[in-house]
Amino acid sequence: MSRLIRPVALALTLATVSFAQDTAPASLPVLTLEEVVAQALDQNFSLEIQRFSSETAAAAVDVADADYDPRFQVTASTGVTQQAQPSSTLDGVTSVGPRSDTGNIRAGVSQKIVTGATVEAGANLRRSKSNSRNALLNPAYNSDVSLSVSQPLLRGFGKSINQAAIARARLGVERADLDFKSAVLDVVRNVEAAYFNLAFARQQLAVREFSLNVAQELLNENEAKRETGVATDLDVLQAQVGVANANRNVLLAQQTVSDREDALKALISRFELDQPLGPIELGEISVPSVSFDRSYQLARTNRPDYASTALSVEQLRLDERTAKNSRKATLDLGADVGLNSIDGNAGDSTSNVWNGDGYSWQVDLQLIVPWGFRAEKARHAQAVAALGREETRLVQLEQSIMVDVRAAIRSVQTNAESLRISQLATQLSQDQFDLEKARFDAGLSTFRRVQEAQEDLDTARVNELQAAVALRVAQADLARLEGSSLARYSIELE
């Protein structure tokens, strides 16, 4: 069963403050908390920055997946080889050394597959011409087509190893989404706190202005009493000091209002610090029943940093498996098969390549064993240590969630009780001030005692406002831990 705490006392403190640029013009509509949150989600710098991080993470998936895209390659070359002529001659006759002109064009496509193998298909056309009289074909055109496969058998073998980078990048997208959710929750919490603090600052200013009016009235009364001989010069001087102190308090409250308005504007807009904000109100404060078990379960389920850390553990497990695979020797199996032909022109050479008269094939096995696997073992040890560190951090975060939720619930309960007590203190101070003022009017008390009663009343009113705001902020902190702010403001994340 929830209980209601009555709004802050004194209707005057709930009124809209009217002072220079801190004023909420009467023509402006009331600025609700829901409207402020919506503006912040649309304009906040932190969310805009985090959106770029999400886009970067999404692009990282394409980068990792692009390793399995086909790669096309075309190579063209031409060249001349002229050998030097002999160093000696017979009967003064010089001879020309062998000369060959070559041209080559090759086109191919290769693709990596999830097993780690690389498949490549290519076609080649080579033209050669020489000054040799013994050449059967001059020029000669050589055509060939080939298909080759290279498959790792140990290091780099298997779908899980070869797609680890893609899986890691996809986890990175999920983490970026969680970071964005965390940023949204932070913005909502900060906006709520700034909104409540501004409400407190404006209402505190109203209290200070009310006190200034009371001090001015007391000064006027004392001046009138001095004229009739009832009050002394000392009473008037004390009243003047009271007015001066009240003026100073009003100035300090005005400064606080300006600072709090700028803080809220910085969260909900961009470079619009001179735009006035409409009236805002704390409204009626309700304290729902709180439960550690419920809040803790919500925090574990909805808290983005906990889920993000759990995904970080999964990423590091992928890194550990990849590093462990790297401790294996490199053993690659290769196979190549091709067809070729040679003719006196390019068209015949290209068409005759499929006749099968000329062919080739090859199978090879390559083994590479690093001495001692020192670097590979060290990298695997680093991956194991990083995984252990992140797993420990996840357990630590789980405990931190427990501690934070316990503290947040105690804060809500404590501030609720503090508000109840401060309301009683305000009522008591109000009664004491009224009594002391009546005694002073009857000549049974001193002006100093009236001033002290007024100061006590001001302090009690401000303390009540502070308690109300502290309770609202404590509720916002608990909602941030639970991740329930999104549902409360009907926020849907893309």
User: Strand pairing partners for 358?
Assistant: 340
- C-alpha of 493 from chain center: 13
Please count the helices (runs of H) and the strands (runs of E) in the chain: 11, 8
Amino acid at 223: E
What pLDDT, on a 0 to 100 scale, did the predictor assign at position 24?
Answer: 55
What pLDDT, on a 0 to 100 scale, did the predictor assign at position 8?
Answer: 29
Regions of the chain short of the pLDDT cut 70: 1-26, 86-96, 133-135, 283, 287-288, 356, 494
Q: Which residue has the tokens 């502070």?
A: 466
Task: Give the Cα separation of 421 and 425 in Å (integer).
Answer: 6
pTM of the predicted model over 0.85: no
* Cβ-proximal residues to 403 (8 Å cutoff; 6+ apart), any chain: none
What count of residues does the chain have?
494
What pLDDT, on a 0 to 100 scale, did the predictor assign at position 327?
Answer: 92
What pLDDT, on a 0 to 100 scale, did the predictor assign at position 348?
Answer: 78
Q: Which helix (H) or strand (E) holds 488?
A: helix 485-488
**193: helix, coil or strand?**
helix
What pLDDT, on a 0 to 100 scale, did the predictor assign at position 75?
Answer: 93
**81: helix, coil or strand?**
strand
Residue spans of the domains in the chain: they are 3-61+166-316+384-488, 117-155+330-368
Q: Which CATH architecture has domain 3-61+166-316+384-488?
A: Up-down Bundle (1.20)
What pLDDT, on a 0 to 100 scale, did the predictor assign at position 230?
Answer: 75
Task: Give the Cα separation of 221 and 29 in Å (integer).
Answer: 39
Residue 77's nearest CA partner among 104, 100, 102, 101 is 104
User: Strand pairing partners for 342?
Assistant: 142
First to last CA, the chain: 36
Residue 464's nearest CA partner among 17, 15, 13, 19 is 13
Render pLDDT for 33-60 as a digit per residue (tens, 0 to 9): 888 888 888 888 888 888 888 889 889 9
CATH topology identical between 3-61+166-316+384-488 and 117-155+330-368 = no
What pLDDT, on a 0 to 100 scale, did the predictor assign at position 81?
Answer: 83
Q: Where are the alpha helices (DSSP H) in 286-373?
A: 292-302, 304-325, 346-352
What pLDDT, on a 0 to 100 scale, did the predictor assign at position 23?
Answer: 42
Amino acid at 71: R
Task: Give the Cα separation of 365 and 286 in Å (integer).
Answer: 76
What pLDDT, on a 0 to 100 scale, did the predictor assign at position 89?
Answer: 52
73-to-37, 124, 372, 432 alpha-carbon distances in Å: 54, 12, 38, 93
* Cβ-proximal residues to 485 (8 Å cutoff; 6+ apart), any chain: 185, 188, 189, 476, 479, 491
Domain 117-155+330-368: CATH class, spelled out: mainly beta
**Burial status of residue 391 (CB atoms within 10 A of its CB: 0-12, 13-18, 19 or more):** middle
- DSSP letters of 146-178? EEEEEEESSTT-SHHHHTHHHHHHHHHHHHHHH
